[in-house]
Structure 1
Amino acid sequence: MYGEDQTLGTTEMGEATRRDFLYIATGAVGAVGVGALAWPFINQMNPDASALALASVEVDVSNVAEGQQIKVMWRGKPLFIRNRTDKEVEEANAVDVADLPDGLARNLNLAEDAPATDKNRAAGADGSEKLIIMVGVCTHLGCIPLGEAGDFDGWFCPCHGSHYDTAGRIRKGPAPENLLIPPYEYTSETVVKIG
């Protein structure tokens, strides 16, 4: 025992022994086991099929009459799509951006620093300002504002008193930002893909 080579795992020639193989095989099986155990926890963080289906939505806006608003669900949030009247567009254009509590357009289709003009918030396929598409969630605490209400005949959040104008810009109340304009593109003259 005292005269033998005390090196474990290799012979005097430096070749691998059965013990080395067992160490490597045990480590490999352990790594596969940890991976198999961790996979369900990692996979549950991926969005489910219903969330992926709502990642984008197509809406035919030709059915939205002038002065009418429809609500569509997108990513679990309501979208307000409104075909505004000429009077509503005129009222929105008459507002000086410098007088707004939030001077940014909050339009995900434009640069972050785009001003909150009515044109920068409108979504008409032909460049008109009549159609507007917004995420219908109050920027204060996430309530759903009421349409054609409030001091500016736009949207009103009765929970805490936020008033938005006909372009969805905050005008009065605790909400810090304008209603968000989601990413969108027209797939035809009357169909808009949101998301």
Structure 2
Amino acid sequence: MAETTGTATPDMVADGGEDGVRRRDFINIAAVGAAGVGGVAVLLPLISQMAPSADVLAESSTEVDVSAIEPGQAIKAVFRKQPLFVKRLTPAEIEAANATPTGSLRDAESLADRTKAGHEDILVTMGVCTHLGCVPLGAAEGELKGEYGGYFCPCHGSHYDTAGRIRKGPAPTNLEVPEYEFLSDTVIQVG
């Protein structure tokens, strides 16, 4: 048996020896690290470009002051580039909406389903007909309100009641109620 000393033999030098293994490991680690940094450099702009822009974030919610709305009056606002109707219902309109049996409605929802507890007199709906996207009449003073005293779509004749529920015409569903909350008794935030 040959005795080995601490010196490298010609076979070890040809294979790269102990120093060759270390250099190879360093090169592999450096290559993987460079690939990782390159991958992050490519993916970061791709992922960040999918984030919403400042103008989209600004339109993602809308605050509306409801303090100036008189009973029976509605105002139009804009939410996500679409009309928004905010109406303060009169006691008679609330009574008429509550007197309508939900079973007789095409899209069965009660007034309580469409308003917030404690604020049953404030109805917030999107001002877009659910048939083909026209803007119904009835939010402004003097506009035709339809047969049920709510909203009327002049494009194809859909009639909505005071709670924004479809009662007659081709529209398949009620006017959409967007997500909203009361920030105070006089201000709502939609979106």
Q: TM-score, normalised by structure 2?
A: 0.76
Choose the corresponding residue for 1:26, options 6, 25, 31.
31
Alignment correspondent of 2:100: 95
What 5-or-longer segments of structure 1 have no aligned partner? 104-115
Aligned residue type for 2:25: D
Alignment correspondent of 2:169: 173
Indicate conservation of the 8 Å contact 1:79/1:136, yes or no.
yes
Alignment correspondent of 2:113: 120
Alignment correspondent of 1:63: 68
Give how far 1:182 is off: 2.3
Give how far 1:128 is off: 5.2
Aligned residue type for 2:84: L
The answer as to 2:136 corresponding to 1:131 is: no
What 5-or-longer segments of structure 2 have no aligned partner? 1-9, 139-143
The structure with more helix, counted as a fraction of residues = 2
Alignment correspondent of 2:7: none
Indicate conservation of the 8 Å contact 1:183/1:194, yes or no.
yes
Alignment correspondent of 1:142: 133
- Taking a change above 3 Å as real, the CA distance of residues 128 and 27 of structure 1, as seen in their structure-2 partners, is closer
Identity among equivalent pairs (%): 48
- Taking a change above 3 Å as real, the CA distance of residues 22 and 160 of structure 1, as seen in their structure-2 partners, is farther
Give how far 1:63 is off: 0.7
Equivalent residue of 1:160, what SS? coil
Give how far 1:30 is off: 2.4
- Taking a change above 3 Å as real, the CA distance of residues 43 and 140 of structure 1, as seen in their structure-2 partners, is farther
Separation in structure 2 between the aligned mates of residue 64 and residue 140 of structure 1, nearest angstrom: 28
Over the aligned positions, Cα root-mean-square deviation in angstroms equals: 2.9
Choose the corresponding residue for 1:190, options 180, 186, 189.
186
Equivalent residue of 2:67, what SS? helix
The answer as to 2:85 corresponding to 1:76 is: no
The answer as to 2:41 corresponding to 1:36 is: yes
